[in-house]
Amino acid sequence: MYGGRWPGPLLIVTGAMHGNEPAGIQALEQVFDLLDQEERARPEFVFRGCLAGLAGNLGALQEGRRFMARDMNRMWDPEEVARIRRLPLAALQDEEAEMRAVLRETDELMDMYPESPLVVMDLHTTTAGGGIFCIATDDPASMALASQLHAPVILGLLEGIRGTTMHYFRTEVLGREALSFAFEAGQHADPLSVDRAIAAVIACMRALGMVAPEDVENRHDAILEAYSRNLPRVCRVIGVHPIRYQDAFALAPGFINFQPVHRGQWLGKDGDEDLVSPVDGLILMPRYQRQGDDGYFLLEVLVPPGSDQSR
């Protein structure tokens, strides 16, 4: 945790909600080091609000698995959260115990900063390469914040899945001013995903007014802009394939994020079912790993690359 001397937002950044995505944790460690170095080098440095970093699924992280028993980033349905809060500690297993620990930390942080606007940024990576992106909720404030991270903004994804952090950390659920979004920093094993996650956290802090623009090095923007070059600025999800047969799902090899696909194109198989794209669009998050319930998403472009149109 860093900050607290000057009022501002409470920014909670989560990493490793999926245990095979360590880049977010590594990025947070480096962000805290950078802030400490800045404070030592420049006593006049002003940081407004509080930045808190939380590790999500520590058990799965240690095993290098997406999850142990359940996908932790599909458990944040308000009713499921309430159930886990009610369970005796001795009855909690695997992701339930991990989730209770995260809830305890977030409860304590919100109690420490009851008047601060709450922002939750969830850091992820993907099984395929091909570009970075932000996932926004339907809250205009979430869309506006995500649009300042120099990465494509994906809308409508929450309509096709349930139980992400973005479903839970909302004003209407928590009863206090809150917004959330996710940042996907690149492919799991790409070491540069850590650098992109660092740059995204710093860009988020600047957008929230936690650090002054003049205190942010231009190289952080350049990192994000370089990996977003030639990608659409805003897309909307128009299709998702929930996997039916976990042990018999196989996409055709080589798909990457934002790759164009065409109506009628063969994409792979799910059991005996041939997967054929129903539309012309872009593929997002094709699953090339054993765990995970979503095979891929399909996108339509709302704002193309290089457009001057506001997001």
Query: Are the beta carbons of 246 and 277 closer than 8 angstroms?
Result: no
Assign domain 2-228 to a CATH class: alpha beta
89: number of Cβ within 10 Å: 8
Question: DSSP for 112-174?
Answer: HSTTSPEEEEEEEEESS-S--EEEE-SSHHHHHHHGGGSS-EEESGGGT----HHHHSSHHHH
Please name every residue paired with 182 in a beta bridge, in sequence order, or none if there are none: 122, 135
Which runs of consecutive H residues, i.e. helices, occur in 169-309? Answer: 171-174, 192-207, 218-228
Instruction: Give domain 238-303's CATH number out of 3.30.870, 2.30.30, 2.40.50, 2.60.40.
Output: 2.40.50
Return the residue matching tokens 């990493």: 15
Task: Please give the chain's pLDDT, 311 residues, in tens.
Answer: 998 789 999 999 999 999 999 999 999 999 999 999 998 898 889 999 999 999 999 999 999 999 999 999 999 999 999 999 999 999 999 999 999 999 999 999 999 999 999 999 999 999 999 999 999 999 999 999 999 999 999 999 999 889 999 999 999 999 999 999 999 999 999 999 999 999 999 999 999 999 998 888 778 899 999 999 999 999 999 999 999 998 999 999 999 999 999 999 999 999 999 999 999 999 999 999 999 999 999 999 999 998 654 44
Please give the pLDDT value at position 4: 72
Residue 218: predicted pLDDT? 78
pLDDT at 43: 86
Read off the pTM: 0.95
CA angle 231, 203, 185 (to 5 degrees): 50
The predicted structure's pLDDT at residue 5:
85
Domain limits of the chain?
A: 2-228, 238-303
Q: Are 211 and 35 in contact (CB under 8 A)?
A: no
User: What was the pLDDT predicted at 308?
Assistant: 55
Q: Is there a contact between 161 and 52 (Cβ–Cβ < 8 Å)?
A: no
